[in-house]
Structures are given as structure tokens and as C-alpha cells.
Structure 1
Amino acid sequence: MNLFSPIQLRSLELKNRIVLSPMQQYSAQNGIPGNWHLVHLGSRAVGGAGLILTECTAVSEEGLATLSDVGIWNEEQQNAWKNIVDFVHEQNAKIGIQLWHSGGKGSLKHPNERMKPLTVEEGGWIVKCSSPTEINGVIPQELSISEIQELKNKFAQAAVRAIKAGFDTIELHAGHGYLFHQFYSALINKRTDEYGGSFENRIRFLVETVQEVRKVIPETMPLLVRISAVDYVETEEGWTLDNSIRLAEILKNEGVDFITASGGGFTNVSKDRVFPGYQVPFATAIKEKTGLLTGAVGMITSAKQADEIISGNKADLVIIAREHLRDPYFAIHSAIQLELDTEIPWQYRRAF
């Protein structure tokens, strides 16, 4: 088994273990992906990645973080995604959509404006999450029970649109301090009803959303979830790897097929804890304890490093983020460096 071994997730077969990580491009208008997204995602498919994952894609307008994020809450967005999906498929790659809601981390300006809070005059909105707990200097409103139920439906509706657009798989973004994470982490969730307090209550929103999404997608389609495996906060309220293993086992029983194990979202991680492959052990632990397929992230930048993760059975897929920004052809270059066979688009073969 190596980086270029195929892998099966339900009926989805990937030609290799290299995944384009979801990375926000802040280049959409009205939630509609455009030419930038076609080229960004399409070029990584041309470059040989087995699975292309879209950036965080909002399930509703208030789920955006900025007004430049993508969405899939209406037909115009769905149709725009279909054009991109079709092109990726033409490159013999597979593509998944990462469904997402920013919760209390929404209503922000563009990164070029340092992501400061948007005013109402600038198109901003009232952000809501599990509890009125301060996040990045903003205190969101608490979601009501009826609003939580509505959000579960919006995720399911977005999943239906994703299927119509032709996506091969769906990933729920439940990490990085966004809405699902704002529920399962006791750092933020201070509720006293059935969605707060105990571990079981704090994970309820995510588990119930998984159930709703699983109902509307084909039995043959794999369902992925990205979590923050740890909060990087050493307090009783901080989310831990043991919590993640426990959550992953529950999600597995609800029909989740794959976990991407990232980390953090509410605090800056000290530099001494960030190094090549620093989050890989999270994926390994979840894989070993639950039997779930897992994806490794965290400063994976070379072919040798990625291959050792797979050949060492530390994870099942490598989720390549910034290195894919530097090198859209990471997969092709990795195969050459590892002296392994891979497809090269006929249009480019004379260069390799």
C-alpha cells in the first residue's frame, strides 16, 4: 500500500490517496462559484489529486463567514457547481462538497480588509451559535430550538442540491471553530437544554444533522466529517482526543464513513506545537480505536512524507492544503519523485 494505491469508500473508488484540502478562496459573489473556482479546483484535478474537496460551502446565507464565500442554498449556485463538477470528472478525478455553517464566526469583511466584523450598512448580519459566548471579540446570539431544527433541514436540503450537482461525496465541516464545533466544545457551548451540558447533549446537533443528511443521500454515497480533534486548550472545558474518538465511534454507527482529524479553531496554537505532520497522530488514533477510515492533515508538504503516512498505515488519505496552493501538480510530481506510475493528462505528457 502506498500513496498511489486506490481506495474504496462505499461505491466511491479513488485512484490515489491524495486529496485537495478545502481552502476558502473568498472569490464568490452571492455564494456563486465562478471561473476562479473552476480553475482552482480543476487545475488540482488536472494535477492528479484523487479527490477534490471544495472550500467550506454555506448551507444558508447567514452561514457565510464573508460575503465572498461560496454556497449551495439555491439553484443558481447548484448549477454553477455542476459546471465545475463536470470538469473535474473529465479529468478522471472525484469531487466532494464540504457543507458548512460559520455560526458565531460569520459576518466578517474580506481577508484583504483583515476580516473585521461587517456592519449592517456593509451587508452584515446578526450571528448566532450555541451560546452567547464571545468568539473573536463578538458575542453571538443563542440559537433557539426551532432554529436548530431548521438548520438541520438546511444541511439536508444542501445535500440534495449537491447530489443534483453531481458531487461524488459530501463532507460536513464540524471543526475549526465553526457551528458544529461551537456546539460540541464546552469552551463555547454553555446551554442548559438538550443541546448543552453533557457530552451527549453537546454532540446532539452534529449527530442529528448526520442522521438527516444520511436519509437524503444514496446508500452508496460515502459521508465524510471533518472535526477538530482537540481544542489545544488545557482546561476541563477543552475538547480532547479522547472526546473525538468517542464522537467518531458514534458517528460511525450513524453512517459516517470517514473522519478528517484537524484541530483548533478557538485559540492560536503555540508555535512549538506546530511542525510537519503535527496533526497526523489524531488521525492515527481515531483510525486505530474506531476502525474508521481517516484523513491526515497538518503541514504535509512532500511526497515522501505523504507516502510514509499511507504506507505506515497512519491514515488512509492525506489531505494536502497549502502545498497544493504552491503546486497544483503535487500528485504528478509526487509520483515521479516516488518512481510510481500515475496518469498524466495527454496534453502535458511531453513535459514529463
Structure 2
Amino acid sequence: MWDEAVTAYDFGRQHPMDPVRLALTMGLVRAFGLDRDVEVVAAKPAGDSTLRLVHREDYLAAVRAASADPRAADQSYGLGTLDDPAFPGMHDASALIAGQSVAAAEAIWRGTAEHAVNFSGGLHHAMPGGAAGFCVYNDASLAIARLLELGAERVAYIDVDVHHGDGVQTTFWDDPRVLTVSLHEHPRMLFPGTGWPEETGGTGQAEGSAVNVALPAGTGDAGWLRAFHAVVPELLADFRPQVLVTQHGADTHFEDPLAHLAVSLDAQRAVQEACHSLAHEYTDGGRWLALGGGGYAVVDVVPRSWTHLVAIAAHRPIDPESAVPEEWRNEVYARTRQAGPWRMTDGRDPVWRDWSQGYDPADELDRAVLATRRSAFPLRGLLV
């Protein structure tokens, strides 16, 4: 899913969410020729009837008003704040990104696409009635809501952004048809301050429909991958989703300026490959919608990470040792006056210890994983 106009989602020159990261990602996708191996589609902006699947009418009106006159932004809706400054055309740009994710979900459900990627999406902090954390409309929630509207009975959402996927969890807190799993830096350390292992979903049948892994600051490749594989595959094997929706914020990277994990590009790629494999193993026909998300090392990390994501979804994975095409490095310099990276790897070969090999109660990462399993797994009838 791509439309150049998504780069109009722009909070201003001093804001960390620089839309150049989207343009550079698409440039790298093209430099590797991946745009010739997939169907590149530009969808229409999400209309009001679609946006109302998740967002309140009064909030939509507030976004429109702030778009028309940013000075009149109503901060009670999270608009016009440091995180979410109002800008002209904010509604149109946000609705366009949402439209890409919704259209991708529709294509997957109807069988016209096996996999779909919208790396401009993954805006997982937006709430039904407010903007938050650089997110105006929650395209991930909207895509899931559209799948449910089309008849899906089980949708799994896996979020590996460094920040908790709070907006998606909130939207589907009481809906047992949606399993939300978020691996993120511990809420004591990082926005939005939620995502504790004790947050396990609503009451009744929705108990256990939310799963949160709160990772210690400084977690690197081995711990991050260990946590993912200790939680996600068992949950998907039990839930058997018809569609898998994944959010791949690149801000877990050790170069990201806004967080404190120490994950490499190579580990991010390993999780992308794992999500792809899990979609083929557990969903109906490999239905997989992959979204972008956070990521503020906008030259060195984000374009490479999400180009790997596109390549994996296209069944044409890029060898991590591949050189970055010179034409793209020239584009990087022209747009940013920075030098781009030389290879599609950080030079790591991430390995991890499987949970089945036992855990160490003295290890902070293992304690975090165990807290999640103890809180959520029994609610789903799974062994801790």
C-alpha cells in the first residue's frame, strides 16, 4: 500500500516523526526492485463511516476543526499538543493512512492478496476519542474492525513496537474475537505507561484476550527474541486466528533516540520472518497484514527494517549481507544531507534460548516473560 501523499502526515520540522522515513523506505523498496514483485496499490482515504468503526463522532469533528485551523486545536482531544501538533490537512493525511490499512485488510479477507504491507500505518496509540503518541487515527484498529465487520471471528494482533500498543488494546478490550499481544519496553520507563502483564482483557469471554510483555530497558537481541518466541507462537496455536495483523515499529533498535532497548536490525528481520511463518502456519491461507509504526532513526534504521518487511511479505527476502544500492544512498543524501548505511544488516547473527529449555529466576528478562505467562496463559487454558 503506497501513496506519496501519506508523507503529508507531517507534524513539523522539529518533530521526531519525520515523514522522510516513509519516502526513503519506498525509495529503498524501489531500489531493490520489490515494487516489480508486488502489486503497489494506493487506496482512498477512509471515509467517516469507516472511521466511526473505531473513533467517536465528536473526535472526528475535532480533528477536522484542527485541520482547518491548527490554532483552534482542542487539546482535550490530544490535538495541538507537543506529541500531536495540529497541522493543515491533518484529517486528510490521517484518513489516507487509515484507508491504506483498511483496504489492505479488505484485500486479504476477500482473497485478492495473501499478504499486504502498509508501512505508513501502525499508528497504534490513537484512542477512540483522542490523539496520542504521534497518532491521530488508529489504522490498525480500523483494519481489525473492518475485518470483523466483514465476518472475521478471530483476528490476532501482534505489536513489537517499543511502545505499548495501548490504542488497539483499548479498542478491543472487551471483544474476545480479537487477541492483542504487545511486546514493549516496561511501562515504568516509557510512554504510554501502560502494558503491564496484569492487563489481560475485559470480563467474561474477553478475559485473556490482551497479553503484555513488559521488557526491561536494555533488552537486546537474545532477550527480545526469547520473549517473542516464549509467548507468541503458543498463543497463536491456541487462538487459531483467521487473520494475523502485525505492527513492526522500528524503535526497538539500539540507535533509536526515543527508547531504551538494544535490538538490532537483524533481530527485527528475524521477528518479521517469524510473523510471516506464523501467518502461514496458523491463519486461513496465510492471511497477514503487516504495518509500520514507530521508528525515529529515520535514515539508518527505518528504511532498511521496513524494506526487509516488504521483501519478506513478497516472498523475496533480501540477503542481510546485500549492499544498499548506491542510487538510494544518493537519494538519502539529496533529501537529508546525511550518509546512508552501506549494507542491509547491522552485522549481527541473533540467537536466543528457547523457553522450553527452562528459565532463570535471577534473570530480569525471564522474570518479565514469566510474569506475562502467569497473568495471561491460565486465562486461556494454557500452561504457565
TM-score bin, normalised by smaller chain? 0.3 to 0.5
TM-score, normalised to structure 2, is 0.33
Which of the pair is proportionally richer in strand?
A: 1
- With the length of structure 1 as denominator, give the TM-score of the two structures: 0.35
